[in-house]
Structure 1
Amino acid sequence: MNRRQIARALTKTLNASVDEILAASNEPLTSSAVRIGITGAPGAGKSSTIARLAAYRANQAKQLAILAIDPSSPLSGGSILGDRIRMDELVENPDIYIRSLPSRSSNNGLCNNIPELIDVLESNSFSEIILETVGVGQAEYAIRNQVDIVILVMQPESGDTIQSMKAGVVEMADILLVNKDDLNGADKVCAELTEIAARGGRLEGWFPPVVRMCAMDNKGVESLSDAIDQTIRWQAKYRDNELIARQRRRYQLQSLLERRIDELLDEATPDFLSTSLTEGFRTIATRCPVGG
């Protein structure tokens, strides 16, 4: 892989305006890359899980790309955390490419232009693309339209499991991962998740497996990898790919429209922001068309 070329392409795409994205728009790529989304509350062990999983799957003659979405500094706009800090052991692996991306103005756990960033990686023939979100909540609803497999990472004794259940987040996942399973309460959480998984997942007919893991001790990574392979095989038979394509296009259109509105509001004069709500709305709506 040409790391420098990939890095330049990702940076250009990340910083592209709505007009620039539309000007460069092409038909969707036909790619066999498997997209894996890793999400969960802060502290659940997402980065440690990715480090173990990526290293394991790269040993199976795969080339992997990792996009790690980091919370942005409100002052600089740059990433508060960085992939070099969290995934040092992967940096020297010739079959793994890692890039941290700041979430910036995005409020859905991802970052601007994420569909186009994934396109860049798919054009570079990676076998698998791993996408890590900032946190939990809205992230699941955004990421589910951009990846093939959603892995929800939870840990015992943290309270995030119960909150995820209440928010319906568990139903968004294809694989339920209990990390740090050496902690007290792991058996109880796994039992509760198994009961929920029996109701079915986000894709009709799929029942998410519950996997136990302790990323720090490198325990359970093989089980997680097997669960991913099982999910891939099931989706190859039963997933509605046309529906997935429509959902991804809807997300792409919606995210571009939201960014276009942000651009227009950033350009707004004080006088405009002093007009009535109705007048302001109509003005924004008429100016929303892009690309001429």
Structure 2
Amino acid sequence: MSKPPLDRHALGRRLSKLANASTADLVQLQRLEPCANPARRIGLTGPPGAGKSTLAGHLALHRGRDRRLGVLAVDPSSPKSGGAILGDRIRMDELAGSSEIYIRSIGSRSASDGLSDNLPEMLDVMDEFGFDEVLLETVGVGQAEYAARAQVDTLALVLLPESGDVVQAMKAGIMEMADIFVVNKSDLPAAQKMATDIQRISALSRRPEDAWRPPVLLVSSMKPETVSALSAAIDRHQAWLAESDRRAALLQARARYRLRRLIERRAADAVASLDAKTLEAPLEQQLEQALQEIRRLSTTH
């Protein structure tokens, strides 16, 4: 059964409304019933400068040929103004001509984990609008930031040759969470060595017999066959995930992340509302007042 045409204006309005929604708004806007056919979620994460945006554009063009595909690209927001450059949209201009590919750049706002405020709700909206697949590109992340893991089904970690000590990086959570390792800009001299190092260290990791074995791919946006190989690896992981029993645990992790972010933002609102007199009081009194304000905000909203 064919899908109705994508209403880009309606989708844009919904995403804008969610991007600006308060925690109280989110509770009111919550969808009670899960989507019967949720979109597959693919994440691209990695350090700044690794070429994630360019790679996301080429991957979207490749995978969007026969499906409705959305791209949500998170850009860093200014801690002062809250604004974002939103350069990912500029770098993905060549996708604009496709009727079934939708691109949206979103500011990270108060989130400091490579994602964006209200991102879980935005991903839900993509399901409502009938997307088959959503490609999520995170802000450039460091070693300890791996919140994207819970938000996507398949997580590709994009690395740049000569970008740091691979052995040290392998100790980080993000390296342990990745489903696919991508050594991007593979035409650079150190690319093969980095891929070999990742393969060697990954082989030492203890995994159950039925665990997914993350492949290490050399990819260049200038070589379509390498982008195709990445796409095929994503399909293999999606097929493995469908046959495993890990889906329930992933959905629970998403629910926990959503709730934690709501609580964190509600707490931030409460602390911001405290007056100078309260902040000069003993810490115990400050904490009690903040908790009272959280309860008040929860009651009045």
- 1:225: which partner in 2? 231
Q: Which residue pairs with 1:2 in the alignment? A: 7
Query: Could you tell me how far 1:200 is from its partner in structure 2?
Result: 6.1
- CA 1:263 to 1:95, structure 2 compared with 1: closer, same or farther past 3 Å? same
Match for residue 18 of structure 2 among 13, 18, 32 = 13
Which has the higher mean CA deviation after the structures are superposed, 194-203 or 270-279? 194-203
Equivalent residue in structure 2 for 1:41, among 36, 43, 47: 47
Residue from 163, 178, 185 that aligns with 2:183: 178
* Unmatched segments (≥5 aa) in structure 1: none
Q: CA shift at 1:249, angstroms?
A: 0.9
Change over 3 Å in CA distance of 1:63–1:291 after alignment to 2: farther
Deviation at 1:3, TM superposition (A): 0.7
1:163-190 deviations in whole A, cap 9, x for unaligned?
5224242111001001111111211111
For 1:167, give the aligned amino acid.
A
TM-superposed deviation, 1:262: 1.0
Unaligned runs of at least 5 residues, structure 2: 1-5
5 Å-filtered alignment, 1:1-292, equals 1-27=6-32, 28-59=34-65, 61-137=66-142, 140-159=145-164, 161-198=166-203, 199=205, 205-289=211-295, 290-292=298-300
Determine the C-alpha separation between the residues in 2 that align with 1:263 and 1:138.
28
Aligned residues of 1:155 and 1:161 also touching (Cα < 8 A): no
Query: What is the TM-score when the length of structure 1 is the normalising length?
Result: 0.93
Distance of 1:202 and 1:252 partners within structure 2 = 29
Q: TM-score normalized by structure 2?
A: 0.90
Report the AA paired with residue 77 of structure 1. Answer: G
Distance 1:262 1:269, change over 3 A: same
AA matched with 1:261? A
The 1:239/1:160 distance shift into structure 2, 3 A limit, reads farther
The alpha-carbon deviation at position 202 of structure 1 amounts to 11
Change (3 A) 1:140 1:62: farther
Separation in 1, partners of 2:168, 2:115: 20
Using the aligned pairs only, state the percent identity.
Answer: 44
- Maintained 8 Å contact 2:143/2:169: no
Paired positions, count: 291
Q: CA offsets per residue over residues 7-54 of structure 1, 9 Å max, x none? A: 100010111111111122233333331111110111101001101100
SS of equivalent residue, structure 1 residue 271: helix
Query: Residues 54-98 of structure 1: CA distance to partner in whole angstroms, max 9, x if unpaired?
Result: 000111x11111111001123432212323321111112111101
Q: Secondary structure at the match of 1:68?
A: strand
Quick one: structure 1 residues 120 and 202, their matched pair in 2 at CA, closer, same or farther if it must change by over 3 Å?
A: farther
Q: Is the contact between residue 109 and residue 139 of structure 1 (CA under 8 Å) also seen in structure 2?
A: no
Provide the secondary structure at the position in 2 that maps to 1:281.
Answer: helix
Q: Take 1:264 and 1:102, find their aligned partners in 2: how far apart are those partners?
A: 23
SS at match of 1:144: helix
Q: Are residues 30 and 270 of structure 1, via their aligned partners in 2, closer, same or farther at CA, if it must alter by over 3 Å? A: farther
